[in-house]
Amino acid sequence: MNLRQLRYVVATADHGTMTSAAQALYVAQPALSRAVRELERELGLELFARSGRGVALTPVGEQVVLRARAALEAVDAIEGLAAGRGRGQGADLRIATTVALEPELIGRLVPLFARAQPAVRIRVVRCADRDGVAAA
């Protein structure tokens, strides 16, 4: 079982047809159908009752979708933690500057950034020349 299969099962339950679920997920319908069938085979469960007009969850399929939603929400929350770090939550920022640029940087730009990203720790390093900036 993998997250892709769980996403496909939840999307199919939400959309009522594998075609609509595949369109919503931007995947080919045969690939979605195959992944759902592989999951059913792996679990030894029939998750959907198939008909010419679409699919309906079986009773055990309803239980699987309920748990799959919880698992996917947990994965999204974990990914959100990583994304939060990427947005500057708890990050470090080291800025190398020259003497000529320092007044503008320290006086205006760093305070603006610090207000917008309060969790970022900022360190300004003054370099004497152009070569020093590259080395910092």
7-39 pLDDT, tens digit each:
999 999 999 999 999 998 889 999 999 999 999
User: 71 and 10 in one domain?
Assistant: yes
User: 80 and 24 in one domain?
Assistant: yes
Query: What is the DSSP annotation of 45-100?
Result: ---EEEETTEEEE-HHHHHHHHHHHHHHHHHHHHHHHHHHHHTTTT-EEEEEEETT
User: 19 and 67 in one domain?
Assistant: yes
Question: Six-digit token pair at 130?
Answer: 């152009």
User: 109 and 59 in one domain?
Assistant: no
37-92 pLDDT, tens digit each:
999 999 999 999 998 888 999 999 999 999 999 999 998 888 777 666 555 556 77
Residue positions counted in the chain: 136
Question: Six-digit token pair at 125?
Answer: 């390093």
- Range(s) of the domain holding residue 75: 3-85
User: 61 and 100 in one domain?
Assistant: no
Contacts of 57 (CB under 8 A, 6+ apart): 13, 47, 48, 49, 65
Cα 12 from Cα 77, distance rounded (Å)? 22
Query: pTM of the predicted model, to two decimals?
Result: 0.62
